[in-house]
A = this chain, B = another copy of it.
Amino acid sequence: MVTTIEPGAPVMTLINIFTVAPERQQELVDLLDNATEEVMRHRPGFVSANIHASLDGTHVANYAQWRSEEDFKAMLADPVAQEHMRAAGAMAEFEPVVYRVASSHHA
């Protein structure tokens, strides 16, 4: 499966930018991978998550798609998901923001 980005697709997009110490970047990527595979991926409305590591080591970004904002909020209220998010919060600051795709451009 491959994630696609398209205006009008029936998903909402969560972009969560984590600011992390470079020496802990890989540990944070591993934590997000595990949390996604073990918990988020099985929650109703989950579509996809793509974990990105900045080349300079200072950031990790999660580009995630959920069927609806309600599904995403239900996951946020899940105690097991909250435990994973607390672990991520212990090693990085993060700011999750919910978006719609406004436009796409290609070469």
Contact = CB atoms under 8 A, between A and B. Distances in A.
Contact of A3 (B41, B47, B104): B104
Contacts of A41: 105-107
A77 B13 CA distance: 31
Given A6-B2, A17-B15, A48 B100 contact: no
Q: How many copies does the complex hold?
A: 2
B100 A52 contact: yes
Given A37-B105, A41-B107, A56-B98, 19 more contacts: A2-B6, A3-B104, A5-B63, A15-B52, A17-B17, A17-B97, A29-B103, A40-B105, A41-B106, A48-B107, A49-B104, A49-B105, A50-B104, A52-B100, A52-B102, A53-B102, A55-B98, A59-B97, A60-B102
Interface of A: 1-6, 12-13, 15, 17, 29, 33, 36-37, 40-41, 46-56, 58-61, 63, 69, 97-107
